[in-house]
């Protein structure tokens, strides 16, 4: 049910509830959608609030209004698989573009600048606070819809050598490995839930306060030096992460082990290397 807590708009709460019902299949694709009158009565809210929520769902093409017939759940809500990071190390940080019949991914370079590292960045990169670094800001889009916002922080001696114009068509990893001859050894990453802020909202075509996922990654070269700190913000309503676990005997008991989807025929598909997911976290885009 809806709560009337200060700061949480009723239309947003209703939007979230209805959106989950559609994406989970609780309300089937093509099925008639609850009427305005029914929603007003069921949730004890105004018609204006209901219309705001429905307008948001319609904008995202989750529901369709048919004149003289009513409102229906969209017949087809595509769930296209996002390119997955392989375990080979060919692309530790990602695709810049991918074009297929179902989905076209492009990269928009928003900024490439110098700045002085704050304590958060220095903690990740292991450099003195106030040292000059390179900051790269990009947005990735699928079929012209924003998917995630991406920030990369690099030591100055690496970042200043990059051809920033090439970032529109080539991956940062590719440029570092091919152009700069850096040998990337590993990466450590975390994924956590958060909410969209006032800066990211317009970029991702999301509302401030919407749920999002934040991925942070530190990339290391062969010598063990941290060469990149990455922060990616994903729209939570367009992503889910799936992990396959296999039961493995250990000593007298058993434990769960991660396994790579791509090694199983039923999940194996032709796909380019992805960006931000490791080999145990294939990701799916809801477009």
Query: Which residue has better confidence, 124 or 208?
Result: 124
Q: In 130-284, which ranges are continuous DSSP H helix?
A: 156-159, 172-174, 200-204
Alpha carbons 174 and 282: distance in angstroms, whole number: 21
Question: Lowest-pLDDT range, 35-39, 66-70, 88-92, 255-259?
Answer: 88-92
Give the confidence band of 278 by pLDDT, cuts at 50, 70, 90.
very low
Q: Over the range 103-129, which residues count as b (16 or more CB within 10 Å of their CB) and which as e? A: bebbbebeebeeeebeeebbebbebee
At 147-177, the pLDDT tens digits run: 889 999 999 999 999 998 898 888 898 899 9
Task: Indicate where the chain has its CATH 3.40.1410.10 domain(s).
Answer: 79-286
Alpha carbons 162 and 181: distance in angstroms, whole number: 12
276 close to 217: Cβ distance less than 8 angstroms = yes
For the four alpha carbons of 8, 209, 85 and 230, in that order, the dihedral sign comes to negative
At 177-201, the pLDDT tens digits run: 999 999 999 999 888 888 888 888 8
The residue behind tokens 């375990």 is: 87
Alpha carbon 116 to its chain centroid, in Å, reads 27
Question: Lowest-pLDDT range, 41-55, 97-111, 115-129, 211-225?
Answer: 97-111
- Residue 32: DSSP 8-state: B
Residue 93, C-beta contacts closer than 8 angstroms, at least 6 positions apart:
152, 171, 172, 173, 187, 217, 219, 228, 230, 275, 276
pLDDT > 90? residue 285: no
Task: Indicate where the chain has its CATH 1.10.10.10 domain(s).
Answer: 10-73
Burial (0-12, 13-18, 19+ Cβ within 10 Å), 93? buried
Fold type of domain 10-73: Arc Repressor Mutant, subunit A (1.10.10)
Question: Which two tokens mark 187?
Answer: 């990466």
- Identify which of 66, 117, 96 has the alpha carbon closest to the alpha carbon of residue 165: 96
Q: What is the DSSP secondary-structure string of 225-241?
A: -EEEEEEEEEEGGGEEE
CATH architecture classification, 79-286:
3-Layer(aba) Sandwich (3.40)
Residue 32, C-beta contacts closer than 8 angstroms, at least 6 positions apart:
70, 71, 72
Query: Which residue has better confidence, 128 or 10?
Result: 128
pLDDT > 90? residue 143: no
């Amino acid at each position: 049910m809806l709560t009337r807590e200060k700061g949480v708009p009723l239309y947003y709460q209703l939007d979230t509830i209805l959106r989950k019902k559609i994406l989970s299949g609780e309300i089937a694709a093509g099925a008639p959608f609850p009427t305005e009158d029914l929603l007003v009565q069921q949730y004890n809210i105004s018609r204006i609030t209901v219309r705001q929520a429905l307008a948001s769902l319609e904008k995202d093409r989750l529901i369709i209004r048919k004149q003289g017939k009513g409102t229906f759940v969209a017949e087809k809500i595509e769930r296209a698989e996002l390119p997955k990071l392989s375990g080979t190390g060919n692309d530790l940080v990602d695709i810049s573009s991918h074009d297929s019949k179902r989905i076209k991914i492009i990269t928009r370079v928003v900024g490439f600048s110098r700045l002085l590292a704050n304590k958060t960045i220095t903690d990740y990169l292991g450099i003195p606070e106030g040292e000059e670094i390179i900051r790269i800001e990009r947005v990735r889009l699928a079929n012209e819809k924003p998917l995630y916002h991406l920030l990369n922080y690099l030591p100055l001696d690496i970042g200043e050598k990059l051809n920033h114009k090439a970032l529109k068509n080539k991956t940062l990893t590719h440029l570092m490995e091919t152009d700069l001859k850096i040998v990337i050894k590993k990466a450590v990453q975390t994924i956590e839930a958060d909410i969209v802020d006032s800066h990211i909202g317009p970029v991702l075509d999301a509302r401030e306060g919407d749920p999002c996922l934040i991925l942070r990654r530190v990339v290391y070269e062969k010598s063990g030096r941290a060469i990149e700190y990455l922060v990616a913000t994903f729209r939570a309503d367009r992503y889910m992460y799936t992990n396959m676990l296999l039961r493995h005997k250990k000593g007298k008991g058993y434990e769960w082990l991660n396994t790579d989807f791509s090694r199983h025929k039923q999940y194996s598909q032709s796909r380019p290397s992805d960006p931000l997911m490791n080999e145990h976290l294939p990701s799916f885009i809801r477009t």
